[in-house]
């Protein structure tokens, strides 16, 4: 095991006994949701994974240690502490070397999951190609990570704060296997559809696991993105959310918000203007945690 990793005793036991494990990220806790919904959601996700027969492992960096599996006190810490860094691939070594606290994005969570031998990870939305990319060059490192690190990421697609069709083009270029779960249409986080078609589909967890196994048997590096649409009853129509997203994007541009601050800023604004977006967000990550647990049992 890597010298910078601390496994919780439950995760350690699960690895020894070859039990199914599902990784969960911490940026959603520290930078993606307001308190106290963030910590409540983090605890609920752990329980959901457990109730579905797998062992949850929320991942974060605390005092420079990569924690695989957080206890309740650590989840509370990640949800409340000020100044927690947002870590992607580029800054993970920095936080570890300096002994800082950091929440892991999809990219960094994949890297840490791989170090611990965890193959399945549930999140809400992955990062992608930002609207206005031609001026800003803002493309999330999550996409590149999916092309490098062998972890199955279960998400509800990407939010329309991003340019969804460019995000799919980029994933194709990078050779990332993007599979729709019981859908042929890439979901757009709050909505079941985005209007962008998918080329690959799975209708059960076993098929997802088989595709992943085939990928590694072929010697192809990288992970897989499973796009699991939000439940129809929880969907928020495009019209309701689009105006808010446009306002938030305009404000980000006008006030010079750049780089890794863009995504947390937009997420906060959406929840401020459309409170039921938070409820939808909680529901969709829960559904992703259920699916990830099922996949982890087939791997
Ligand atoms: N999208 C969401 N909620 C989130 C994120 C994205 O709907 O919490 C977080 C995830 O941790 C993701 C990160 O990996 O934002 C992407 O940040 P960036 O765009 O700076 O790469
Ligand atoms: Mn970015």
pLDDT in tens, 221-235: 999 999 999 999 999
Strand-pair category, 55-62 with 102-104: antiparallel
Do 41 and 78 form a contact (C-beta atoms < 8 A)? no
Nearest ligand, measured from the Cα of 25: 1
**Burial classification of residue 43, based on how many CB atoms lie within 10 Å of its CB (0-12 exposed, 13-18 middle, 19 or more buried):** middle
For domain 119-299, give the fold.
Indigoidine synthase fold (3.40.1790)
State percent of the chain over pLDDT 90. 98
At residue 181, the pLDDT reads: 98
245 alpha carbon, closest ligand: 1
Q: What phi, psi does 57 have (nearest 5°)?
A: -140, 90
How distant is the alpha carbon of residue 54 from its chain centre?
18
C-alpha pair distances (Å), 253 with each of 9, 100, 126, 240, 278: 45, 30, 21, 21, 23
Q: Which residues are catalytic?
A: 25, 159
3-state secondary structure the chain: CCCCEEECHHHHHHHHCCCCEEEECCHHHHHHCCCCHHHHHHHHHHHHHHHCCCEEEEEEEECCEEEECCCHHHHHHHHHCCCCEEECCCCHHHHHHHCCCEEECHHHHHHHHHHHCCCEEECCCCCCEECCHHHHCCECHHHHHHHHCCCEEEECECCCCECHHHHHHHHHHHCCEEEEECCCECCECCCCCCCCECCEEECCHHHHHHHHHHHHHCCCCCCEEEECCCCHHHCCCHHHHHHHHHHHHHHHHHCCCCHHHHHHHHHHHHHHHCCHHHHHHHHHHHHHHHHHHHHHHHC
Give 157 Cα–ligand 2 centroid separation in angstroms: 17
> Could you tell me the sign of the dihedral formed by the alpha carbons of 278, 58, 263, 179, in that order?
negative
Identify which of 153, 263, 267, 274 to mutate to test ligand 1's pocket (most ligand atoms within 8 A of the CB): 263
CATH superfamily of the 1-118 domain: Indigoidine synthase domain (3.40.1790.10)
Q: How confident is the model at residue 81 (pLDDT cuts 50, 70, 90)?
A: very high
pLDDT at 239: 87
- How many angstroms separate the CA atoms of 107 and 74, rounded? 21
pLDDT value, residue 224: 98
- Predicted confidence at residue 45, as pLDDT, reads 98
Which residues are 86's β-sheet partners? 103
Query: Is the pLDDT reported for residue 99 higher than 90?
Result: yes
Q: What is the pLDDT, as a whole number, of residue 168? A: 98
CATH 3.40.1790.10 domain residues, the chain: 1-118, 119-299
| Nearest one of 115, 41, 111, 37 to 272, comparing CA atoms | 37
* Angle made by CA atoms 264, 79, 93, in degrees to the nearest 5: 70
For residue 259, give the ligand 1 atom closest to its CA.
20
Separation between Cα atoms, residue 180 and residue 280, nearest integer Å = 19
CA 166–ligand 2 middle distance (angstroms): 14
Position 249 confidence tier, pLDDT thresholds 50, 70, 90: very high
- For residue 238, the model assigns a pLDDT of 86
pTM of whole model > 0.85? yes
Average pLDDT along the chain? 97
Our mutation pick for probing the ligand 1 site, out of 24, 26, 27, counting the most ligand atoms within 8 A of Cβ, is 27
Between helices 141-148 and 106-116, what is the axis angle to 10°? Answer: 30
Confidence (pLDDT) at 1: 83
Report the separation in Å between the CA atom of 227 and the middle of ligand 2, taken as the mean of its atom positions: 21
pLDDT in tens, 162-216: 999 999 999 999 999 999 999 999 999 999 999 999 999 999 999 999 999 999 9
Q: What is the mean pLDDT of residues 66-82?
A: 98
Question: Measuring from each residue's beta carbon to the nearest atom of ligand 1, which residues come in under 6 Å?
Answer: 25, 27-28, 32, 88, 105-106, 124-127, 140-142, 159, 189, 260, 263, 267
């Amino acid at each position: 095991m890597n010298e910078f990793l601390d496994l919780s005793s439950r995760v350690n036991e699960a690895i020894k006994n070859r039990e199914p494990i599902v990784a969960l990220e911490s940026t959603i806790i520290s930078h993606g949701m307001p308190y106290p919904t963030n910590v409540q959601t983090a605890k609920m996700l752990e329980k959901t994974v457990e109730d579905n027969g797998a062992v949850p492992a929320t991942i974060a960096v605390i005092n420079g240690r990569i924690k695989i599996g957080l206890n309740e006190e650590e989840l509370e810490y990640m949800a409340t502490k000020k100044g927690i860094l947002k870590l992607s691939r580029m800054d993970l070594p920095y936080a570890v070397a300096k002994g800082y606290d950091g929440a892991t994005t999809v990219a960094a969570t994949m890297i840490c999951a791989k170090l611990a031998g965890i193959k399945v990870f549930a999140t809400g939305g992955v990062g992608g190609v930002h609207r206005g990319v031609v001026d800003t060059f803002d493309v999330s490192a999550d996409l590149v990570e999916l092309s490098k690190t062998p972890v199955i990421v279960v998400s509800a697609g990407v939010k329309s704060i991003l340019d969804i069709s460019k995000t799919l083009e980029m994933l194709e270029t990078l050779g990332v296997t993007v599979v729709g779960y019981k859908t042929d249409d890439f979901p757009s986080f709050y909505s079941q559809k985005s209007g962008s078609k998918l080329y690959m589909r799975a209708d059960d967890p076993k098929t997802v696991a088989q595709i992943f196994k085939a990928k590694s048997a072929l010697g192809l590096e990288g992970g897989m993105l499973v796009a699991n649409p939000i439940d129809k009853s929880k969907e928020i129509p495009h019209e309701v959310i689009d105006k808010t997203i446009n306002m938030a994007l305009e404000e980000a541009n006008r006030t010079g918000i750049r780089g890794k601050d863009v995504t947390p800023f937009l997420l906060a604004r959406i929840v401020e203007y459309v409170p039921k977006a938070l409820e939808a967000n909680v529901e969709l990550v829960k559904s992703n945690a259920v699916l990830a647990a099922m996949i982890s049992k087939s791997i």
